[in-house]
Structure 1
Amino acid sequence: MWRSILMGAVAGARAMTPLAALAATRRGAAVRAPLLSTGSLLLAAGELAGDKRKDAPDRTVPAGIAGRLLSGAVAGAACAPRGDRLAGALLGGVAAVAASHLTLRLREHATRRWGQTASGLIEDGLAVGSAVLLART
């Protein structure tokens, strides 16, 4: 169940990255459909690019939290053992909401130190790397 929690935490930082990583590694029935797979990859790429904009919305606004909650739940279920998918979804969703608040504070601190683009690229690398590692294990 740790993978469900950790993948949910990644969704707190980058909502679409866990689903894109699962789709790219062909894990998780929820993202195997070609339309969902391609869509999640495109949305993740757009999120990575859009995050560097100064006018990017705060990840903790209601729409941002809802997207992270849903993504974390789907990814958490996909990472859970077959009989524990509901628990994986709950853990992934909760981890996503908690991590969205934590990663926002960390990002705000990093932005003051290194700027919007550099801090965003660091966060991207951590989120994408973590999601791919979790999806492959």
Structure 2
Amino acid sequence: MKTPALLWSALIGAVASARSMTPMATLSAARLLGRSTPGSLALLDRPLFKFGALAMGAGELAGDKMKTAPDRTVFLGLLARVASAGIAGAALAPRGREPAGAATAIATAVPLAYLTLDARKRAMRHVGQTRSGLVEDLLVVAVGIAVVALAVRHGNGRSR
């Protein structure tokens, strides 16, 4: 069965809707493990970018549990989702389809940010901010890792 061309871009956009830095962190981890992405994106090969993305991903996971953490739908939160989803969506798109992959990921991430925020707020009322955040982290990071791993495998990601 053939995978739809922009499926991985859409799925990484869904990941960005809940955790803006997870797409970049998972892509960076894949690059550090010597895997390449279907789409060509030189930015992912810069060490400062790779390690910076990993640090920002870890920082976001910690910061999300703080009482002062802003909603993901504030302007800067959406801007981070647009940037991260766009870069990740382009990297996971088939070679030559990077702009379409970026657009697909962004078009998925922004509206889903509102839905994932609503789900998180409902979960917070039942189990609290920290517990709901940890569960969301586990789900989002696991999905992010799976999406990147599958995209790299199906896109014939080569070792670098």
Same fold (TM over 0.5): yes
Cα shift readout 1:47-82 (whole Å, capped 9, x = no counterpart): 000000111011100111011011111110011000
Q: CA RMSD in A?
A: 0.9
Cα deviation 1:7-60 (Å, max 9, x = unaligned): 011011000000100110114433221100000000010000000011101110
Q: Give the structure 1 partner of residue 52 of structure 2.
A: 39
Equivalence for 1:124: 137
Q: Which has the higher helix share?
A: 1
Tell me the equivalent position of 2:79.
66
The answer to whether 1:4 aligns with 2:9 is yes
Query: 1:98: how far off?
Result: 1.3
Structure 1: runs of 5+ lacking an equivalent: none
- What do the CA deviations read for 1:80-134 (whole angstroms, capped 9, x no partner)? 0002111100000111101111100000000001110010001101111011111
**Matches for 1:1-137 after TM superposition, within 5 Å:** 1-26=6-31, 27-28=36-37, 29=41, 30-137=43-150
- The answer to whether the Cα contact below 8 Å between 1:10 and 1:99 also exists between their aligned partners in 2 is no
Write the distance in 2 (CA, Å) between the matches of 1:127 and 1:73.
17
Q: TM-score, normalised by structure 1?
A: 0.97
* Structure 2 stretches lacking a partner, 5+ long: 1-5, 151-160
| Seq. identity, % | 48
Q: Which runs of at least 4 in structure 1 moved beyond 6 Å after TM superposition?
A: none
Aligned length: 137
Q: Distance in 2 between matches of 1:35 and 1:88?
A: 24
